[in-house]
Amino acid sequence: MFDLVRKLLGRKFRQSEVELLNDALDVGISGRNKAILGTKRAIGPRGVALIKRFEGCARLRRDGMVEAYPDPGTGAEPWTIGWGATGKEFDTDDRIGPGSVWTQAQCDARLATDLIAYAEEVSRAIGAAPTTQGQFDAMVSFHYNIGAIHRATLTRKHKVGDFASATAEFTRWNKAGGRVLKGLVNRRREEAQLYKES
């Protein structure tokens, strides 16, 4: 690049020109990376509040500890603890299951970590599609609960700007274990409302 510009100028660079060209290249590279990777976004307070309201930090024991519970749809796997955490235990590679017990601080820390990961996954799924904070928050809540942001028709509709159809897609995800659950109906309604308000 420098050789090409030097040839066009027909002379050597001045130091101020080198600095300007370096700055321009940095901006160009940064912009290209953003286009490839998507803009890094974070879930907002309304999205966190929605997730906390529907996940709850259930099974608080008298000693202040929080214990795991089975999935409401299956009555078994996946076992859940704290603010809807599934998968691995807080500090080991063991799976969350019957007998898993965490402190409230561990539940809160896991939620914060998980929300960063889920927000990154939503960002990758929607790419550069114009997205309001409310739409983003609703999709992170949806993905946190369902884990389907990459395959959901909701995502495809959002990416093409068909926000009305995307809003309607939330209501389709109201079943667990093949049954419609009132909690999921209510959550999808709240997510759709947050998505639509934006």
Complete DSSP assignment for the chain: -HHHHHHHHTSPPPHHHHHHHHHHHHHHHHHHHHHHH-------HHHHHHHHHHH----B-TTS-EE-B--TTTSSSSPBBTTTB-SB-SSSSSBP-TT-EE-HHHHHHHHHHHHHHHHHHHHHHHTT----HHHHHHHHHHHHHH--TTT-HHHHHHHTT-HHHHHHHGGG--EETTEE-HHHHHHHHHHHHHHHH-
Query: For residues 48 and 60, what is the distance between their CA atoms, to the nearest angstrom?
Result: 20
The CA angle 138-183-74, to the nearest 5 degrees, is: 110
Q: Is the dihedral of CA 178, 184, 186, 192 positive or negative?
A: negative
Classified as helix, coil or strand, 102 is: strand
pLDDT digits (tens, 9 = 90+) for 80-137: 999 999 999 977 889 999 999 999 999 999 999 999 999 999 999 999 999 999 999 9
pTM more than 0.85: no
For 67, which DSSP code? Answer: E
Look up 55 and say whether it is catalytic: yes
Q: Which residues contact 134 (CB under 8 A, 6 or more apart)?
A: 44, 46, 194, 195, 197, 198
Catalytic residue among 55, 89, 169, 191: 55
Phi, psi of 41 (to 5 degrees): -125, 160
- Give how far Cα 123 sits from Cα of 28, 36, 43, 158, 161, Å: 21, 11, 10, 12, 15
For 171, which DSSP code? Answer: G
pLDDT string in tens for the chain (198-residue length): 556 455 545 666 566 566 655 655 554 443 333 333 445 799 999 999 999 999 988 888 999 999 999 987 788 889 999 999 999 997 788 999 999 999 999 999 999 999 999 999 999 999 999 999 999 999 999 999 999 999 999 999 999 999 999 999 999 999 987 889 899 999 999 999 999 986
Query: Which pLDDT score, from 0 to 100, does residue 176 have?
Result: 82
